[in-house]
A and B are shown apart, each in its own frame.
Chain A
Amino acid sequence: MSFAFTKDTVRRAISAHSALGLICCALLYLICTTGTAIVLHEEWQRFEQRDAPEMTEIAPASMQRGIENVLASESDGPTTTHLYVHLPTEALPRTTITTDTQAVHVDAQGEIAKPEENAWAEFLLALHYRLNLPAVVGMSLVGMFGAMLVALAISGIVAHPRIFRDAFRLRARRKDDVATLDWHNRLAVWTLPFALAIALTGAMIGLFYVSGSGLAASAYGGDSEAALAPVFGGEPEGDAAPAPVAQTGPALAYMQREYPEVQPYYVILHDPGTAGQHVQIVGEHPRRLIFGEYYAFSGTGEFRGTAGMADGTVGQQLAASTYNLHFGNFGGLPVKIAYILFGLAMTVVVATGTFIWLDKRERRGQQSAGLRAAWWGLVVGVPAGLVATLIVRLAIGNGAPFVTVFWVVCPLVIAAWTLSARRNREREGMSPHPVPAE
C-alpha cells in the first residue's frame, strides 16, 4: 500500500521534515530522554530514600494523627493553605504529608518519620517539564517542542511514500547510512500512535501558559483559575475564622461505603484549621485513563459532590486523561515498561534523524565531521549528565546541585567529544566520515 502523494509533495515534505527536525533536535532529544526516565518517577523516589517507612495501607485514624502532628509541627509559623496526604499506592507505598513549607513521611501509626528526600526525582521531572527554567518559559518551550513533534510526525508520514510497504524492513546489520535510515523510519512508523499521543498531550500540558492565558484573557478577565474552574472545579469561599482541624476519617469511610471500587490516593485539606476548611479526596478509577476523580467533603465529612472528571463532560474527561496518557501511569508496571521501550525508540528516532541529515550533507560533499562529533556529544552527553546527577545524589545527598551538575556535564561531554574527534582527524589526516556507495 502506498499513498498517492506526488513526487514534488514528497520532496517538499522531506525538506519541511528536515527543517523542523534541525530546529528541534537538540532539545527534543533532551525532552525524549528525560521523558523516558521520568516514567519511573515513583520508583526513583523509592530508590532515592530507601529507608522511608512503607506500608500497603494506613488506618484513617493514623492518617488523621499524622495530619495533626504535621500541623502541630508548624504551629509557630504561618498556617499552611493546603495540606496534601499521599496515601500508600502500589507504585509508591508510602504515606507522605506535604504542606506549603515541608513534606514528611509518616509511619503506620501517624508519627512523623522523616522529611521526604526526593530532590533528584523532582530535578528530573523539572528538567523534562520545564528544562529547569521558570515555569512560564520552560513549560511553554517544552509544549512548543511537543507541538513540533506532531509536525514532524505529519511531515514524516508525507515524506515516506512507502510507509506501509517498508514497515517491517530493518536492515540493521548493514552498519551504514541505510541502517541508520531504517532505524529512524521503522521506529518512527511503529511508534507513531504513541508519539502522537505523547506529543499532543505534552503540547496540551506545556502550551497551557499560551492557550490557557489566551482563554483567560479573552473570556475571564485574565483569571486563569476561573478559566479552569468549569473543568476541574473551583474553590469554595473561604472563612479564615479558627476551627478544629477537619476530620478526614468520615470522608474516607464514606468513600469506602459508597465508592468501594475507587482507590483513594490523595487527601487534600484546603485551608486547614479554619471555619472554611474543606476536604477533597482524589480517587483512582480502575481501568480509566483519568488521573482520578475529586470527591469533595465539608470539614465535618459531609459529602458535597464530585468534580466530574470521571463522568462529567467529554472535555472534562479528556482533560483528566491528559496526564496519565502522557506519563504512562495508568496500567502498572507493564504499561510503564511499554512507555520506557517506546520512549527509548522515540529518543533513537530523534538521534538518528540528525545523523541522517549529517549523512546527506556529507553525500553532497559538505564537511560535517565537527557537527557529527557535536551531535554524538549531545547524544552521549544527555544521559551522561543524568547519570552524573544520580551519582552526585548518591554521593552528596538530597541537597546536591543537580541543575548545575547536569548543565555543566552535558556541555562538557559535547566539547570533549568534539575536541577528541578533531584530534583524531588531525592525527589520522583522513576523511571525516566514510561515504557509502549509493
Chain B
Amino acid sequence: MAGDALLWIAAALAIAGVAVLRLSWGRPVRSAPLNIAGWGALIAALVAGDFAAGEWGITVTVLVATFAAFAALAVAALKPARKARAKTVRTSHSGSDEVSPTGRSGWLTFALAGPLALGASLLLALAVRALIVSAGGAEADGNVAVLATVPIAWPTLSFALLMMPRRIAQFGWVLGIAAVSAPFLLLQGGPA
C-alpha cells in the first residue's frame, strides 16, 4: 500500500530529523546547514505523514519524533555526570532570575487571570461563532469554534495578564476583550 510506504518514510524522516538536530545542537558552534537539515526532515516527515493518512498520519509522525527524542534523552541521562564548575551551571530557573513580588493582591490577580479572563474568553468565543455563522459558515463549525476557542483563549489571556506589570493594563485587556465581544451576543440569534 502506498500509504503504508509513505508512513514508514514519514517515521524514518522524523527519526532522522531528531538525530540531525541532536548532532547539530551537540556541537560547540551552531551549524545552520545541520539545523536546516534537521528542521527540514521534521517538516518533510509531517508532510509525508499527512499524505499517508491525513491528520492521523501527522499525529503518528509526531509520536514517532517524540519517541526518537526520548531515546536521545535516555542516552544523555546515562552519561556520567561531569563535576561542573559552580558558576558554569546554566539554568533558566535560578532563583535570582525571578521578578520580586510587587505587593499586588494575589487574590485580585487570581480573579483577573481566572474567572474574569474565562468570562472574557467565553464572550470572545461566542463572538467568533457569530462571525463564522454571519459569514455563511456552518452552524456546526460555529458551535465547535466556541468549544475550541475557550481552551485556547483563556490560558493565553491568563498568561498575558500575568506578564503585565501594571494592574491597569490587566483590567484594560480583560474588559476590552469582553467589551468588544459582548455586542456579538446579540448576533447569536438561535440556530442558523
In the assembled complex, the Cα of A16 lies from the Cα of B95 at a distance in Å of 14
Q: Is the CB of B55 within 8 A of A335?
A: no
Closest Cβ of chain B to A172, distance in Å, is 4
Q: Which residues of A contact B35 (CB under 8 A)?
A: 1
Q: Is the CB of A151 within 8 A of B144?
A: no
Q: Is the CB of A204 within 8 A of B148?
A: yes
In the assembled complex, the Cα of A208 lies from the Cα of B148 at a distance in Å of 10
Q: Which residues of B contact A289 (CB under 8 A)?
A: 55-56, 59
Q: Which residues of A contact B189 (CB under 8 A)?
A: 219
Q: Is the CB of A215 within 8 A of B55?
A: no
Among A16, A168, A199, contact of B162 (Cβ-Cβ < 8 Å): A16
- Residues B62-102 near A (CB distance < 8 A): 62-63, 66-67, 69-70, 72-73, 76-82, 84, 86, 89-95, 97-99
Most chain A CB within 10 A, of B26, B73, B125, is at: B73
Q: Report A189-221 CB contacts with B as 1/0, cut-off 8 Å.
A: 011011001011001100110111011001111
- Residues A215-229 near B (CB distance < 8 A): 215, 218-221, 226-228
Given contacts A312-B140, A315-B138, A364-B95, A341 and B70 within 8 Å (CB-CB): yes
Q: Report B30-70 CB contacts with A as 1/0, cut-off 8 Å.
A: 10000100000000000000000111110110110011011
User: Interface residues of A: mostly helix, strand, loop or mixed?
Assistant: helix
Q: Is the CB of B163 within 8 A of A13?
A: yes
Q: Report A272-300 CB contacts with B as 1/0, cut-off 8 Å.
A: 00000000000000011100000000000
Q: Is the CB of B76 within 8 A of A172?
A: yes
In the assembled complex, the Cα of A170 lies from the Cα of B78 at a distance in Å of 9
Segment at the B interface, from A104-112, A158-166, A386-394: A158-166
Among B82, B144, B191, contact of A319 (Cβ-Cβ < 8 Å): B144
Given contacts A1-B35, A14-B97, A150-B151, A160 and B92 within 8 Å (CB-CB): yes
Q: Is the CB of A438 within 8 A of B144?
A: no
Given contacts A11-B98, A193-B62, A437-B86, A207 and B159 within 8 Å (CB-CB): no
In the assembled complex, the Cα of A341 lies from the Cα of B25 at a distance in Å of 24
- Residues A108-140 near B (CB distance < 8 A): none
Q: Is the CB of B84 within 8 A of A194?
A: no
In the assembled complex, the Cα of A419 lies from the Cα of B110 at a distance in Å of 32
Q: Which residues of B contact A186 (CB under 8 A)?
A: 73, 76
The closest CB in chain A to the CB of B163 belongs to A12
Q: Is the CB of A164 within 8 A of B25?
A: yes
Among B59, B99, B146, contact of A214 (Cβ-Cβ < 8 Å): B146
In the assembled complex, the Cα of A65 lies from the Cα of B141 at a distance in Å of 40
Closest Cβ of chain A to B60, distance in Å, is 6
Q: Is the CB of A313 within 8 A of B138?
A: yes
Q: Is the CB of A167 within 8 A of B21?
A: yes
In the assembled complex, the Cα of A360 lies from the Cα of B125 at a distance in Å of 38
Q: Which residues of B contact A169 (CB under 8 A)?
A: 76
Q: Is the CB of B143 within 8 A of A150?
A: no
The closest CB in chain A to the CB of B56 belongs to A287
Q: Is the CB of B99 within 8 A of A210?
A: no
In the assembled complex, the Cα of A169 lies from the Cα of B27 at a distance in Å of 12
In the assembled complex, the Cα of A241 lies from the Cα of B19 at a distance in Å of 67
Segment at the B interface, from A75-83, A173-181, A400-408: A173-181
In the assembled complex, the Cα of A203 lies from the Cα of B158 at a distance in Å of 15
In the assembled complex, the Cα of A345 lies from the Cα of B77 at a distance in Å of 14
In the assembled complex, the Cα of A185 lies from the Cα of B145 at a distance in Å of 32
Q: Is B185 an interface position by the 8 A CB rule?
A: yes
A-B contact pairs, 14 of them (CB 8 A): A12-B165, A14-B99, A16-B162, A19-B162, A146-B151, A150-B151, A151-B159, A168-B26, A170-B76, A173-B80, A173-B81, A194-B66, A219-B191, A338-B66
7 other contacts beyond A164-B21, A168-B21, with CB at 8 A cut-off?
Answer: A14-B93, A147-B150, A227-B143, A287-B57, A313-B141, A321-B55, A360-B93
